[in-house]
A and B are shown apart, each in its own frame.
Chain A
Amino acid sequence: MVLSIKTAVSRNAKILALFAIVCTAIVGLVHSLTKDQIVFQQQQDLLRNLNSIIAEDSYNNVIYQDCLILPNDALATAEPQKIYRARNNEKLIAAAITTVAPDGYSGNIELLIAININGSVSGVRTLKHQETPGLGDKIEVRKSDWIKSFNTKKLASKSDGRWLVKKDGGMFDQFTGATITPRAVVKAVRNTVIYFNEHQDKLFESASNCQNNDSVKDTL
């Protein structure tokens, strides 16, 4: 009896292990076949976002490889953020910085903010959010033009009172039924611009230190 249980267990274990190996092998194979394509897609997506806020013909470097990782405390975010630098023949044009607005109506709002070398905002895009559909999701460019209201805006000083939503006395519209979302976005953009203005030299001089960009073909 004991023996038969033993053989049954070891037989089942062997079958299970065999299936595990075969399944893992298949997943591994598909992964290795799609790996490059996935990285390529992510780069394309990033590039599309970057080009929507930094004029494509204003720079000529491979922008997603000219990338610097910012420490967590730079923008007071939980994750390290990235800054992409646009240069035209080594001349600095603009930088795009990823950041997170932690105080959205439902969770984090991930943003990409491009700032020209003179400190004016070149453009802002929402990368990811879970705001209420129909109310807070007007921060998406395909739902509303609101996010474009940052374009060309400059920050006069650190305590520039115009960089608030209208309800708080500033110059940015809030949405009907949703003030928290635009307030969070305005705050995050303002903080990023402040950080950019204060650290501009260092941000442009440091050597690129982002990983995972090597396997992608030069697409520019």
Chain B
Amino acid sequence: MNLAAPAIALQTAALLLLAPLVSGFVRTAKARLQNRRGPPVWQPYLDLGKFLRKDMVISEHASWVFSVAPYVVFVTAVLAGLLVPMVTVQAPLSLFGGALALVGLLALGRFFLALGGLDPASAFGGMGSSREMTIAAVAEPALMLAIFTVAIAAGSTDLSRIAAASLGPTWSWLNPRQVLAFAALFIVLLAETGRIPVDNPATHLELTMIHEAMLLEYSGRHLAFMEWGASLKQLVLMTLLVNVFFPYGLAPAATPGALAFGLAAYLAKVLVVAGIVVVVETTNAKLRLFRVPDLLSAAFVLAALALFSTFLFQQAS
């Protein structure tokens, strides 16, 4: 449980570099699945570089909240990423917080993002903020209940301990609790990262936007950090999903061999989850806004069933 500076630096670098790649992979793979050629996988890097260099136009109605929001969104996403075990069992910052802090940090980023949407006095920004906060509110209980289920089984909210417990001998990933909680968290992942069927990241119509509507007024480096923050958040949630439920390959100690194997296993797992997201996005239509709560209450029911199965199958605790 020590704070190793190299581990922090390495995981930060890995998060920063991988996040745009995963977004690019999803975009390209989706295009291929729809018989389009699509942008190259590294397109998000080019976009970020371009945004960082561009001049900015800030709305005359905007205040400090608007300019602070991108940095908060970006930093909270990285911080949240440091709480999750990525390649090693031990997350570099797990002493500073577990699952509850992770949810709190992402909520802090969302709070600023939504206020940034309201700040320029545009109707679209307000619309995006309102929808984002509504969906987040409906997704939160499902997210927490799913996390509680695994936390109770592992006896800790510390994600490193949860991952360690998953690696243990008594753990079976076909346990109904695991399957149900995974399904619930996957639905929450779709909602939290603004994926079809909840939100369409590729939409150009303001009235259907959720996440993009809040970003409409952002430009230049602010936009770069907002976009980067969004892809970081997506990577963090994917990492959470794969390493809590499928911890195979996580390096128990920091030896070069274990780290290399851990990294390879991690990349493979994330690509598989990203692939599932691509398939879901391609085979589904976006839901009407007021059908989204139905989907998320399904996630809540799944998480509750996971909890009940904990009660049924694990009498001794």
A and B from one complex: no
